Amino acid sequence: MIPLTDEEKAVYEWQLWVRGFGEDGQTRLKNASALVSRVGGLGGPVALELAAAGIGRLVLAHGGDLRPSDLNRQVLMTHDWIGKPRIESAVQRLKAFNPRLEIEALPENISDANADALVAGVDIVFDCAPLFQERFAMNRACVAHRKPLVDAAMFEMEGQVTLIIPGETPCLACIYPESPPGWKRQFPVFGAVPCLAAAIAVMEGIKLLSGMGPSLAGKMLYYDTRTMRMRTLPLARRRDCAVCGET
């Protein structure tokens, strides 16, 4: 593993004091890579906090151009970038924030066509896509390549996060055998709601990559910012799951 530089020790000083993390955890994070699918309301703060924590390499996939209606929640975007590719705005913001970060950016969303190659090249995956076809493609690729997957989602004032460890925990297809009916790309949401899911997802990733526990593996954390209730429930694996089941 590549050791920390003096500059990195200075930048990450405050988190090096965290019990159970230290220089060993920081070095592991520096030598780790993560794929973030979409860098919008959820994936944007995920990428930003991974960059802040000092992950070594990020692979980002997000298609399309920035629209005015993205700007209530997509914190890596800037107003002057409306009409231009979202991924470019995200890369500029992340590079300005952490110039040490290595970024590979793809101007398209996750699909069955690109998921395998992208997942194979990283240590952990953060699924921040709103559409189930993208989430299912990512889940299939993570199970095939045995890569940990942090799956985060939100709707209106609620959110949920789980950590999927292929072969050990339920996969996304165990939780959702098919797309919930009526689900679409556009839905009511405040930007702070996905930010909360993103923060929880990133802490799961940091703990996994640096060897700290316990985690949300096999459990779903649900929160509702309308009532400010948070609960964590166990998830069950489906023996007949089409993706991870025993055949």
Name the site residues for Zn ion (rule: CB under 5 A).
171, 173-174, 241, 243-244
CA pair distance 73, 25, nearest whole angstrom: 30
Q: Report the residue number, 35 or 244, with the smaller CB distance to Zn ion.
A: 244
Q: Report the residue number, 53 or 244, with the smaller CB distance to Zn ion.
A: 244
Q: Report the residue number, 125 or 244, with the smaller CB distance to Zn ion.
A: 244
Tokens of 3: 């050791």
CB of 222 to Zn ion, least distance (A): 20
CA pair distance 153, 131, nearest whole angstrom: 10
CB of 148 to Zn ion, least distance (A): 14
CB of 234 to Zn ion, least distance (A): 15
DSSP 179: P
Q: Report the residue number, 63 or 166, with the smaller CB distance to Zn ion.
A: 166
Helix (H) or strand (E) holding 163: strand 158-164
CB of 204 to Zn ion, least distance (A): 19
Q: Report the residue number, 71 or 144, with the smaller CB distance to Zn ion.
A: 144
CB of 143 to Zn ion, least distance (A): 7
Tokens of 206: 């940091």
CA pair distance 235, 212, nearest whole angstrom: 21
CA pair distance 197, 43, nearest whole angstrom: 10
Residue 242: φ, ψ to 5°: -70, -20
